[in-house]
Amino acid sequence: MTDQQIREVMLARFGEVFAGQGDAEIFFAPGRVNLIGEHTDYNGGHVFPCALTIGTYGAVRKRTDRTCRFYSMNFEQVGVIEVSLDEALKPVKERDWANYPLGILWAFGERGMKPETGFDLLLYGNIPNGSGLSSSASVEVLTGYILRELYGFSDVTNQDLALIGQYSENHFNGVNCGIMDQFAIAMGKKDHAIFLDTATLEYRYAPLKLEGAKIVIACSNKKRGLGDSKYNERRAECETALKELQELVDIQSLGELDEATFEKICTRIVDPVRRKRARHAVYENQRTIQAQEALENGNVKLFGQLMNASHESLRDDYEVTGIELDTLVEEAWKVPGVIGSRMTGAGFGGCTVSIVREDAIEHFIEQVGMAYEKKIGYAADFYVVEIGDGPHR
């Protein structure tokens, strides 16, 4: 659907659910894909994501009372979720997906920004749920953007929206995510990736010049929930490894180490599994720095090789891929015209990202799709994506 078609469908549904469209406005926040730099953001390393033109749309209207009502066209079976601004906000299992926008409402309140009146909010997302393209972070940034625009919290910058989203997910939803997802969504820029140092939040935009190639996302259709996955476990393993290394070197994060220094001191990490986790964090950070330089220098071939090496490390050292993602990537590597391919997102299901020459895309989708369905037993979905802007009205 086009933006205009989505707008018409959403306003019609808004009228059915909340009685009358009135002065409902529509806002948008993108999803994101990370080209390289996985599981580095909570290890003080670099990431290289970009915002997409698919994402989450919100139709919203202020109310005159203290009630907030939430409805998702993606989870219509849940129905309308109603919350009062006068109650203490906390995550409730029965509120399902609405715990994400509620977390933002709570996080704004923690910063002293409390809406005087409630609102009706209807969401529609065209990001595949549980795909690893950050549907939850998209909802968080969208909600924060809406609160800022609707209630005049004008001091809140887009970078603040990213930090509020991360704070909410960490402390309200209980997922110890890093800053990358929310930052890429809040700070997205059309046709650019963001080279972000997650330790300092220093960043710069890098034009995506792929020389006759496009980004293709393959969704494994294996659903995952971050809170239920081993994501928090991986983070804890890295934190323990860091503490062990801090007995030898004065560092605040694994992202401060280069490969040579790590190899000299890595035996201080007692457990061999933790050592592998830390090795990935260090080497992946260096790969990301090299990949950004390669793209700036027009060396798309090297960029692709670094993507491939990233996947191998995520498979072997970090162990977050699984048969679905490995199959998609390994089949992609067999296709002529594929410059690079890797899993993207937290892993344990979700998506891969590939850079594919335009004249090979049709063959890529056909060949990888056929091999995947034969091996896994169900189909993958493919998206040729464009790089878009951050949240907007």
CA-to-CA distance for 234 and 126, rounded, in angstroms? 29
Query: Buried (b) or exposed (e) across 253-292, using 16+ Cβ within 10 A?
Result: bbbbbeeeebeeebeebeeeebbbbbbbbbbbbbbbbbbb
pTM over 0.85: yes
Q: Phi, psi at residue 386, to the nearest 5°? A: -110, 155
For residue 359, indicate whether it is catalytic.
no
Q: What is the arithmetic mean of pLDDT over 237-261? A: 97
Domain range list for the chain:
3-207
The answer on pLDDT for 235 being more than 90 is yes
> Would you state the structure tokens that stand for residue 320, as one six-digit string?
């977050």
What's phi and psi for 388, nearest 5 deg? -120, -170
pLDDT: which is higher, 347 or 362:
362
* Active-site hit among 41, 120, 181, 197: 181
Q: Does domain 3-207 have CATH number 3.30.230.10?
A: yes
DSSP string, 333-349: HTSTTEEEEEEESS-SS
Q: How much is the pLDDT for 349? A: 87
173: DSSP letter: S
Pairing of strands 213-219, 381-385: antiparallel
pLDDT digits (tens, 9 = 90+) for 32-87: 999 999 999 999 999 999 999 999 999 999 999 999 999 999 999 999 999 999 99
